[in-house]
Amino acid sequence: MLDVCLPGTGGMMPLPERHLATMTCRCGGYTILVDCGEGTQVALRRQKISAFDIGLILITHMHADHVSGLPGLLLMIAATERSEPVTIIGPPPIAAYVKCLKVIVPYLPYELNVMELPPATVPLDCDPIFQIGDMTVAPFLLQHRIPCFGYTIVVQRYPEFDAAAAERLNIPVRYWNLLQQGQDVIGPQGEAWRSEDVLGPPRPGIKVVYCTDTRPFDGIVQRAHKADLFICEGMYGDLAERERLYEKSHMLMQDAAVIAAAAEAKLLWLTHFSPANPDPAQYLTELQQIFPATVVSKDGERVELKFP
Amino acid sequence: MLDVCLPGTGGMMPLPERHLATMTCRCGGYTILVDCGEGTQVALRRQKISAFDIGLILITHMHADHVSGLPGLLLMIAATERSEPVTIIGPPPIAAYVKCLKVIVPYLPYELNVMELPPATVPLDCDPIFQIGDMTVAPFLLQHRIPCFGYTIVVQRYPEFDAAAAERLNIPVRYWNLLQQGQDVIGPQGEAWRSEDVLGPPRPGIKVVYCTDTRPFDGIVQRAHKADLFICEGMYGDLAERERLYEKSHMLMQDAAVIAAAAEAKLLWLTHFSPANPDPAQYLTELQQIFPATVVSKDGERVELKFP
């Protein structure tokens, strides 16, 4: 089970009634946070999401509305007395930026690691670069004015364990867990038990794709293919804004719906609305004609995704 | 007339219902902002205070809850298309910190100046170090864990102009303004007109003293002497917290009231409440027994101070 929440859904600047865009993915006691603009710690408090479990912070890009909340978040995590390490992943110059923050966040009770992605060389089909609990993370390059990455988060699902087969093979129960996780096992008498002999066929996990800020392009369709949840920016719904948005490397809500349909995603959440778009829900009917499972997210949008 | 507002009144961390402590002083089209924790731009928006006029930002000290909102504020000012310079004044390492912010705030359409105060050498009776419009600013050293300054903001009031005397001296009206501002003038025929000949006695201006974070000490009484408005931190009202607060270089609301009484201030606004003090107003009766003109401020506390 994966709990996904958007504590904030705004772009560019935080508003009294709309926090800046941020997402949490929670699974098995581990939390991933994606983007951390000014006020993210408040948005998390509002949704009663504990900072204690945040072990991984993914940053899409280094514009202020996606990173200014990092010092406050790091202190919020510190206040929970977390002692496990925290990792931040993002494009350059994330390492220089985090180093600078030590001026105002000099002491943290946990180890802070920074993994700086290469600026423009991650192929679209790259493997996951990080695993936390049962969640894996793969970045993919977007098309924005500065290096910017989307992220695919997958909750792996182990194949079904064939207990009858394990019993037939006389495998003691204490080895079943390792075998289920795909590991082969040597028994106490030198028996060689292979996981493939007690596992069913591969089963799809849960796939969430987070995609902001970017102009629309075909690569996003590939990445969002059959995603259980595709979360995408939609600055405006007014078609007259299209050209101006593309120039600024953003997209319309309608573009996101077209991508979701082409990708055969199961669900689309729109986010990162412009402050000049105070009522994005007015476009919902039009958007659902393009892609029926479209949600114009509000702060606190939430879903529990389960294995099929 | 001086418009004073506290868009935020919280200490340590921003909460959904309480922004971090910040103050604006507005006079004649000029705005001074004191402290800028995470979310200050949202607090300003909530109070409908324009960022366009913010020409001076005073920082008390370099703890995150007093400076993390700077990048967002600088961008908010930029969005108003202000082109006049903005000056930031604060203790070390404010210059290094602002330099670092260029990672996420690379371009500003106005000149940004930083004046770093000496860490621990400003005497209590120092002269104003900055003037903006009719407001002057004087810092004074507080007693906190790191270098920390309070600020006295005074709106100067010129002495009354004696028009009858100016007419008796045959001074043309076009010179009156300069004379009223205390400047002597040489007339077209070499006449020497002295401002003191056409001005009444000095008149007190409007004095506001902002004081956080600090343990209580006598120097604050001197600084707040006869202030029209003394704004002071009050983390807790529970007397049992006193020792712990002093250790952390903070004070109780009751300490602030004692200082206000000793200083013969006209009005006390308490601010910078601990997140663990969700209802500071419960101590109001007790506080007003110490100093009757005590206000337990809420976000948006506001007053227009006028010359007596």
Selected residue of A15, A42, A148, A299 to mutate for chain B interface (largest B Cβ count, 10 A): A42
Q: Report the pLDDT value the prediction gives residue B129, as an integer from 0 to 100.
A: 86
- CB-CB contact of A151 with A220 (8 Å): no
With H, G, I as helix, E, B as strand and everything else as coil, classify residue A258: helix
* Mean pLDDT over each residue of chain A, to the nearest integer: 94
Q: Are residues A221 and A287 in the same domain?
A: yes
Q: Helices A70-79 and A94-101, interaxial angle, to 10°?
A: 60
Chain A partners within 8 Å of B68 (Cβ): 38, 68-69, 71-72, 104
CB contact under 8 A, B13 and A75: yes
The whole-angstrom distance between B184's CA and the closest CA on chain A is 48
Please state the φ and ψ torsions of residue B98, each to the nearest 5 degrees.
-65, -35
Q: Report the pLDDT value the prediction gives residue A188, as an integer from 0 to 100.
A: 87
Domain of A190 in residue numbering reads as: 163-197
For the record, the structure tokens of B69 come out as: 């909102």
How many domains is chain B partitioned into structurally?
2
CB contact under 8 A, B68 and A71: yes
| A143, A171, A197 - which closes a domain | A197
B308 occurs within a structural domain: no
Nearest by CB to residue A38, choosing from B45, B69, B101, is B69
**pLDDT tens readout for residues A180-230:** 888 899 988 888 999 999 999 888 899 999 999 999 999 999 999 999 999
Interface size between A and B, measured as CB pairs under 8 A: 88
**pLDDT tens readout for residues A74-112:** 999 999 999 999 999 999 999 999 999 989 999 999 999
Q: Helices B70-79 and B94-101, interaxial angle, to 10°?
A: 60
CB contact under 8 A, B41 and A14: yes
Which residues are CB-neighbours of B279 under 8 A, at least 6 positions away? none
Q: Are residues B219 and B174 in the same domain?
A: no
Chain B partners within 8 Å of A64 (Cβ): 71-72, 75, 104-105
Q: Are residues B99 and B233 in the same domain?
A: yes
Q: Report the pLDDT value the prediction gives residue B120, as an integer from 0 to 100.
A: 67
pLDDT tens per residue across all 308 residues of chain B: 999 999 999 999 999 999 999 999 999 999 999 999 999 999 999 999 999 999 999 999 999 999 999 999 999 999 999 999 999 999 999 999 999 998 999 999 999 999 999 876 666 666 788 999 999 999 999 999 999 999 999 998 888 999 999 999 999 999 998 998 888 999 888 889 999 999 998 888 999 999 999 999 999 999 999 999 999 999 999 999 999 999 999 999 999 999 999 999 999 999 999 999 999 999 999 999 999 999 999 999 999 999 98
| B176, B197, B218 - which closes a domain | B197
B169 occurs within a structural domain: yes
| A143, A175, A197 - which closes a domain | A197
User: Chain B interface residues facing chain A, Cβ-Cβ under 8 Å?
Assistant: 13-16, 38-39, 41-42, 45-46, 62-64, 67-69, 71-72, 75-76, 79, 93, 96-97, 100-101, 103-105
Q: Are residues A138 and A42 in the same domain?
A: yes
* Nearest-angstrom CA–CA distance, A130 and A30: 13
**pLDDT tens readout for residues A271-287:** 999 999 999 999 999 99
A183 versus A22: the higher-pLDDT residue is A22
Known catalytic residue at B134 = no
For the record, the structure tokens of B173 come out as: 């009206």
For the record, the structure tokens of A220 come out as: 């996003």
Q: Report the pLDDT value the prediction gives residue A248, as an integer from 0 to 100.
A: 94
Chain B partners within 8 Å of A71 (Cβ): 38, 64, 68
Chain B partners within 8 Å of A100 (Cβ): 97, 100-101, 103
Q: Are residues A239 and A101 in the same domain?
A: yes
CB contact under 8 A, B64 and A72: yes
Q: Are residues A173 and A34 in the same domain?
A: no
Q: Report the pLDDT value the prediction gives residue A118, as an integer from 0 to 100.
A: 86
Chain B partners within 8 Å of A104 (Cβ): 62-64, 67-68, 97
Q: Are residues A172 and A35 in the same domain?
A: no
- A120 has pLDDT over 80: no
**pLDDT tens readout for residues A126-183:** 678 899 999 999 999 999 999 999 999 999 888 899 999 999 999 999 999 899 888 8
- Interface predicted TM-score (ipTM): 0.89
Q: Are residues B70 and B140 in the same domain?
A: yes
Q: Are residues A125 and A147 in the same domain?
A: yes
Q: Are residues A278 and A179 in the same domain?
A: no
* Nearest-angstrom CA–CA distance, B37 and B268: 22
Q: What is the pTM of this model?
A: 0.91
